[in-house]
Amino acid sequence: MTEKRMIITQGEHAVSDDPDVVVSTLLGSCVSCCLWDPYAQVGGINHMLHAQLDDARSSANVSGVNSMELLINEILKKGGARARLTAKVFGGAQMVQGLSEIGLANARFTLEFLARENIVCVSKSLGGRQARHVLFRPATGIVRQRYVRQADEGAVTVFSLPHPSSGNGMELL
């Protein structure tokens, strides 16, 4: 068995019925919902940046309802049934004290969406002040979470980035 690793980031989702697939994401204030149909052995995970958008010009795939519906529809296309889905929810941390409570809002939205849609949330790890690394096996519904150690306050990390060869005119500093 060769593990096939997929990485999703903000606004993305992944669905699979392959038992060798592991989907990975890193969450701070964002929330991921892992959905699984145990009978069809298919599942998926999303990474929601903002559960509710106030700006109509923003990309639609980061809003909560759209993100959840895209995820559910992809699972249904692979043979899953909405009535059999179970959920596990992660993220929603408050990464910087004193700033907005977007993590709490993301977590609240996700749990309320699941309740409205009669999808049972069998486990959750929400809130706090630490980022989480989540590894999900969509075909089995197994999720592993690891808290990411925070850097020391006041510590500065310097990254050296290679110059882009694409010539797109953008330089990251």
Which domains does the chain carry? 4-147 (3.30.1330.200)
Task: Summarize pLDDT for 50-62 with one digit per residue, the tens.
Answer: 765 555 544 443 4
First to last CA, the chain: 41
pLDDT average, residue stretch 150-154:
52
Express as a percent the part of the chain with pLDDT over 90. 68
